Amino acid sequence: MRLQGKTILVTAAGQGIGRASAIACAREGADVVATDLRADLLESLAREAPTLRTHVLDVRDDAAVRALAAQLPPLDGLFNCAGFVHEGSILQCDEAAWDFSFDLNVKGAYRVTRAVLPAMLDKLDRTRGTAAILNMASMASSVKGFPNRFAYGATKAAVIGMTKALAADYVTRGLRCNALCPGTVDTPSLRGRIASAADPAAAEKAFIARQPMGRLATVDDITPQVVYLLSDESRFVSGQAVLVDGGVTI
Ligand code: NAD
């Protein structure tokens, strides 16, 4: 039980990497608060993993974020997973699309972190314990450029910068902060991007071909790294952008 005794909040836990991560953290003994925009997804998650606590949470809604933070015990772990992939170059990205991507992918993590951090730090000061924040970035970020990921890459680069700044501010207080940078992961939103392509079979082939390992990641390829970075096993790791990318950036 690698997360026994830890209370961990996960955003975007309704499906994909967030859902699998919430379940993996609960299996390792954490008291998991699984949140998502969509109540229907949380209902099916609660049926699948009845020990989880679920709360509807839109990370774009600051009042809702603050209200949930006020109800929770101090967290020992936070996984800011919520994010959206805008597809297109700069010429396909108007200001509304740019603002939406930053509001969800970057400001969402900022809002949740700012709301829960004072209680986390207070607990750390009282207990001399440890805590960890994990922010969802991507290999498509400051790590590597990809075609048609203009706004997306910019937001995920910002997430890495925010992660390093947080890590620097709190490294002496027992709080670590890292960013996770997956390759292409088989999730509902990826399936949606494939299905909406002009030639879905070719799109799927192209997504697979990006990974030298010759396949898409499954969510189960990603969750061990999530558990590790939220657990005390990674106690000497902070401020890192950790790649789980099937060899893309070799
Ligand atoms: P997904 O895109 O299939 O699901 C996203 C979840 O986020 C949904 O449950 C949705 O309801 C929720 N959500 C949407 N807007 C929200 C909001 N405003 N507040 C709270 N929840 C909201 O899941 P995924 O593909 O696993 O992606 C999760 C994260 O991983 C994203 O940040 C994404 O950028 C990142 N990521 C994904 C991949 C990939 O290939 N799938 C690769 C690298 C990084």
For ligand 1, say whether the CB of 104 is within 6 Å of any of its atoms: yes
For ligand 1, say whether the CB of 20 is within 6 Å of any of its atoms: no
For ligand 1, say whether the CB of 141 is within 6 Å of any of its atoms: no
Select from 9, 11, 36 the residue to mutate for testing ligand 1; criterion: most ligand atoms less than 8 Å from CB: 36
Of residues 110, 152, 170, 228, which has the active-site annotation? 152
Parent domain of 212: 188-216
Alpha carbon 186 to its chain centroid, in Å, reads 15
114-124 average pLDDT score: 98
For ligand 1, say whether the CB of 18 is within 6 Å of any of its atoms: yes
pLDDT tens, position by position, 172-224: 999 999 999 999 999 999 999 999 999 999 999 999 999 999 999 999 999 99
Degrees (nearest 5) of the Cα angle 219, 165, 37?
40
Residue having the nearest C-alpha atom to atom 18 of ligand 1? 58
For residue 170, indicate whether it is catalytic.
no
Element (DSSP H or E) covering residue 231: none
pLDDT tens, position by position, 26-76: 999 999 999 999 999 999 999 999 999 999 999 999 999 999 999 999 999
Asked, for residue 97, whether it belongs to a domain, the answer is: yes
For ligand 1, say whether the CB of 148 is within 6 Å of any of its atoms: no
Q: Residues 145, 166: one domain?
A: yes
Q: Residues 62, 160: one domain?
A: yes
Any alpha helices (H) in the chain, and if so which ranges?
16-27, 39-48, 62-71, 95-102, 108-127, 150-170, 188-195, 200-209, 219-230
Q: Residues 139, 200: one domain?
A: no
Q: Residues 106, 193: one domain?
A: no
Q: Residues 59, 138: one domain?
A: yes
pLDDT, residue 10, reads 99
Q: Return the structure tokens found at 149.
A: 């990921």
Q: For residues 45 and 54, is the Cβ–Cβ distance under 8 A?
A: yes
pLDDT tens, position by position, 127-158: 999 999 999 999 999 999 999 999 999 999 99
pTM metric for this prediction = 0.98
Separation of 211 CA from ligand 1 center, angstroms? Answer: 20
